[in-house]
Amino acid sequence: MKKSRIVMVIAALLLFTPFFFPIWRIVLEAPQYPTPLGLDIHVNKIVDMNPNDLKNINLMNHYIGMKDLPVDLPELEIMPIILVVMGVAGVLLAAKGESKWYLTWFVVMAFLGCLGMYDFYLWQYDYGHTLDPRAIIKFTNEDGTPMAYQPPLLGTKKILNFTIHSYPQLGGYLVGLGAALSFVAACVGWKEENQ
Amino acid sequence: MKKYHLKISTLPVLLATALLAVVLGGCQKGSDPSATQGALTKNAAERTYVAPGEYDEYYAFFSGGFSGQLSVYGLPSGRLFKVIPVFSQDGEKGYGYNEETKPMLETSYGFVPWGDAHHPDISQTKGELDGRWLFINENNTPRIARVDLTTFETAEIIEIPNSAGNHSSAFVTENTEYVVAGTRFSVPIPQQDISIDEYKGKFKGSLSFLSVDPEHGHMDLKFQIRMPGFDYDLAHPGRGASHGWFFFTTYNTEEASTLLEVNASQKDKDYIAAINWKKAEEYLKAGKGKKEKARYAHNIYSDETHTATTHWKDEVTVLEASELPGMVYFIPIPKSPHGCDVTPDGEYIIGSGKLASSVTAHSFTKMLKAIEEKKFDGEAYGIPVLQYDAVLAGSVEQGGLGPLHTEFDGQGNAYTTFFISSEVVKWKIGTWEVLDRQPVYYSVGHLMIPGGNSAKPFGKYLVALNKITKDRYLPTGPELCHSAQLFDISGEKMELLLDFPTIGEPHYAAAVPAEMLMEKSLKIFKLEDNKHPYVTKSEAESKVVRNGNEVHVYMTMIRSHFGPDNIEGIEVGDKVYFHVTNLEQDFDVPHGFAMMGANNAEILVMPGQTETLVWEPEQVGVWPFYCPDFCSALHQEMQGYVRVSPKGSKTPLKFTLDGEAMDAL
């Protein structure tokens, strides 16, 4: 079996890992929370990192006028479909065996990835900026504008008494790996075809 | 120093003086007391200091004595973590004031709001502490309580019938098959109108054996052994080879009923009652138990319904000691013994005659042999008295004055408290020689070594529980707290590490390594598991319901508001039940509820729990309520109002939050 085909199959199969492992985790640390709060984003749902975390994050956030974390999101209904479609497509393309299709798959994955991150950013922007006008506590920035509480897209950020960490989890890393591997498959396949 | 008069020649005097000077000088050279003192103090401070963020090594449970409660301290720091209400009402927690816990203090004498808690004992498996439950006795209105060691709350209280002064209690057998109770004050059984002078022969004692359900811990009074009218003072179980026996010290075998101080101190020997409870079980099975009428309360608290229920019992099975051979034996022991302690291997039974100066050790093996060979010295009320010398193993001579209690370190050593000479004495089991003595401040009662009353003691720390404090701490007027001293007993000599005050009067204590309880300490009650009959699981479901002149308010609490928080339509003469559910599911976020002018107390509700406070308004007006436990940044805003209209005014029932009516019912 051609090396490139094996790599491509693996790449495609990795797209199914988010059905078993969480994709992303946002952790909220604060002095009064020796065990930090957190939420895990799975392919089709958002869940507590530890029991009751979502409820407690919402409770904390109601003081500054933030709305509750979403229970259902259209993104969480679309993502599983996209992953399955791309995963199946990837396997079929691997069966087909042409490296240029591997490259195409990679480009589509990269595009979808960027689209996904942009959508995530937009959701975070809305979550952090759409505040209840009757919020109990209202903070302002140094320049007088109302403070917003947008979590970081990727990385660590301090907001008031919370330090927020936003990082991919195993499922997310494996999908990234899958995309990367498809590029590798494309290169290896191109070399094999032009031997 | 004596002055030698000059009747003798000067040379011997000069020599003697010179010698004296050399000796004294020598003594001074080797020791600089202040330097050693400093080093010891620093060392002790290091060994008792638990740095911020770190944890103590042991949970130590101290009885509150006349406070009626159970306190929880950490060792080695001596810091107080909690006072668990057991037999006395506690306004701080609403214990005995809210509807759910009032049944815990129900007895055949009605509601009893105070008790005298003496001896805590932690459950055991195979002779080792297992940290499931803690049992403690009530001395005044005889009862035994069981404390759940995952919630650190009182889960059950059972009354002991045919008893008065429940002192030799609440001690468990090595697999917690039973927890025992024993009468300190003999009384007529059943109670009747007879002259007190008729005490001798007419007043009786009871030793009660309560089984403990291994799954739930629920107690059940399996049988009572009817005993002669002696005072049954303390007890400990046999273990290992002596498992199946229980040993109770008795005093007042003189059977005095007045001026016991003198009249119960006449005989030079009293008894240890050795109870063969396996034999008692056999008699029970063979139908030899007599069922007697006796009314007593059994109160059980459920963590599912967050409510206690009183179950009334009306009979008890009695085994008559004088009629059933082989079940009870009396072992003579010097003068008014107090403590009755069994070595970790179960071989020696230590009894201390508190009016003697020696500690007596009896041998279990010799006891069995004496029984077999019928080495009896007469009988008392039909119960054989074994020959003293046939059972005696040895005694610790001149240990001190007034020996009381002994515990063990698992290294072959025993430690006994001496009340009158105010010291703790360490001695060797088997050789009976004194190894060390340390003064305590002052007049020690019990001492406690974690696991010291089990097959597996943790021989690092010893705590002396003292009765007299005097000048030990900053004085606080005529009434002073009781003091406790922590010793390091890991070395050859005992070292005093810490001196700390305790609440109430700790009669005894029991301690476990912290790891045994830390992980399973409950953080929150799951709201979805709450089966309280008046639970409200979401704010939307809160309501107010009128039933004649009873009004039931189904209220919720969450940071930082009550739902509903404005209630109208209550009338003077109504009995208002506030059933308040804490909707939080976060660690350490309790909420309280306090109503102005209420004739009870606050309620303190843990996350996921429901509690009820009753309020009977007698005045027209608008009355506020609020959360008394600091819960959040907006705690000061967590409040509400109740409008009370005149009786019969028919003001419509209205309950709102933020102006929005909640579902009208």
**CA B97, CA B116: separation in Å to the nearest integer?**
19
**Contact status of B585 with chain A (Cβ, < 8 Å):** yes
- Band of the pLDDT at B549, cuts 50, 70, 90? very high
**CA A133, CA A152: separation in Å to the nearest integer?**
23
- Band of the pLDDT at B2, cuts 50, 70, 90? very low
**CA B279, CA B324: separation in Å to the nearest integer?**
9
Mean pLDDT value across residues B476-505: 96
Say whether pLDDT at B273 is over 50: yes
User: Residue B205 falls within a domain, yes or no?
Assistant: yes
Mean pLDDT value across residues B206-210: 97
Residue B565: the pLDDT is 95
Say whether pLDDT at B663 is over 60: no
Between residues A140 and B579, which one has the greater pLDDT?
A: B579
Same domain, B512 and B538: no
**CA B348, CA B352: separation in Å to the nearest integer?**
13
Mean pLDDT value across residues B13-35: 56
| CB–CB contact B634 A56 (8 Å) | no
Residue A108: the pLDDT is 94
Say whether pLDDT at B514 is over 80: yes
For testing contact with chain B, the best of A56, A59, A60 (most B CBs within 10 A): A59
Retrieve residue A61's tokens: 């956030």
Say whether pLDDT at B25 is over 70: no
- Band of the pLDDT at B201, cuts 50, 70, 90? confident
What confidence tens digit (pLDDT) does each residue in B304-332 have? 999 999 999 999 999 999 999 999 999 99
Domain with residue B625: its CATH number is: 2.60.40.420
User: Residue B147 falls within a domain, yes or no?
Assistant: yes
User: Where in the sequence is the domain holding A18, given as residue range(s)?
Assistant: 3-193
| CB–CB contact B559 A56 (8 Å) | no
Residue B8: the pLDDT is 53
| CB–CB contact B586 A59 (8 Å) | yes
Retrieve residue B559's tokens: 């940071």
Calculate the average pLDDT of chain B. 93
**CA B586, CA B252: separation in Å to the nearest integer?**
55
| CB–CB contact A63 B634 (8 Å) | yes
**CA B560, CA B568: separation in Å to the nearest integer?**
21
User: Residue B45 falls within a domain, yes or no?
Assistant: no
Residue B664: the pLDDT is 44
Domain with residue B339: its CATH number is: 2.130.10.10
What confidence tens digit (pLDDT) does each residue in B614-646 have? 999 999 999 999 999 999 889 999 999 999 999
Say whether pLDDT at B37 is over 80: no
DSSP string for B87-115 = SS-BTTTTBTTSTTTGGGGEEBTEE----
Mean pLDDT value across residues B203-220: 97
- Band of the pLDDT at B658, cuts 50, 70, 90? confident
B257 and B209 Cβ atoms separated by less than 8 Å: no
Same domain, B469 and B585: no
**CA B234, CA B465: separation in Å to the nearest integer?**
16
**CA B150, CA B519: separation in Å to the nearest integer?**
9
DSSP string for B23-87 = HHHHHHHH--HHHHHHHHHHHHHHHH---TT---SEEEEEE-BTT--EEEEEETT--EEEEE-SS
B441 and B483 Cβ atoms separated by less than 8 Å: yes
Backbone angles phi, psi at B368, to 5 degrees: -60, -40
User: Residue B475 falls within a domain, yes or no?
Assistant: yes
Nearest residue in B to A62, CA atom = B559
Q: Which residues of A touch B633 (CB under 8 A)?
A: 63, 137
Same domain, B509 and B532: no
Mean pLDDT value across residues B422-448: 95
Mean pLDDT value across residues A41-58: 94
Across A6-10, A39-43, B7-11, least confident range: B7-11
- For chain B, how many helices (H) and strands (E)? 8, 46
Say whether pLDDT at B30 is over 50: no
User: Residue B34 falls within a domain, yes or no?
Assistant: no
- Band of the pLDDT at B29, cuts 50, 70, 90? very low
User: Residue B443 falls within a domain, yes or no?
Assistant: yes
Strand positions, DSSP E, B430-481:
434-439, 444-448, 461-466
Examine the fold and report which residue of B488, B518, B548 is the final residue of a domain before the chain moves on: B518
Same domain, B438 and B549: no
Say whether pLDDT at B168 is over 50: yes
**CA A14, CA B586: separation in Å to the nearest integer?**
37
Q: Answer yes or no: pTM beyond 0.80.
A: yes
What confidence tens digit (pLDDT) does each residue in A104-142 have? 999 999 999 999 999 999 999 999 999 999 999 999 888
User: Where in the sequence is the domain holding B67, given as residue range(s)?
Assistant: 58-518
Same domain, B482 and B538: no
Upstream peptide bond of B76 is cis (omega within 30 degrees of 0): yes
Distances (CA, A) of B217 to B145, B214, B302, B605: 11, 6, 12, 24
Same domain, B479 and B536: no
**Number of domains comprising chain B:** 2
Mean pLDDT value across residues B244-273: 93
Say whether pLDDT at B254 is over 70: yes
Choose the closest CB to A55 out of B585, B633, B634: B585
Q: How many CB atoms lie within 10 A of CB B606?
A: 20
CA distance A55 to chain B (A): 8
Residue B31: the pLDDT is 47
**Number of domains comprising chain A:** 1
Residue B13: the pLDDT is 63
Residue A96: the pLDDT is 87
What confidence tens digit (pLDDT) does each residue in B287-307 have? 999 999 999 999 999 999 999
Between residues A1 and B384, which one has the greater pLDDT?
A: B384
Nearest residue in B to A60, CA atom = B559
- Band of the pLDDT at B38, cuts 50, 70, 90? low
User: Residue B42 falls within a domain, yes or no?
Assistant: no
Same domain, B509 and B548: no
Find, among B143, B208, B222, B213, the residue nearest to B180 by Cα.
B208
Say whether pLDDT at B67 is over 50: yes
Same domain, B100 and B204: yes
Q: Which residues of B touch A63 (CB under 8 A)?
A: 633-634
CA distance B634 to chain A (A): 9
Backbone angles phi, psi at B359, to 5 degrees: -105, 130
B494 and B436 Cβ atoms separated by less than 8 Å: yes
Across A95-109, B477-491, B520-534, B547-561, least confident range: A95-109
Find, among B583, B633, B524, B556, the residue nearest to A60 by Cα.
B633
Mean pLDDT value across residues B451-467: 96
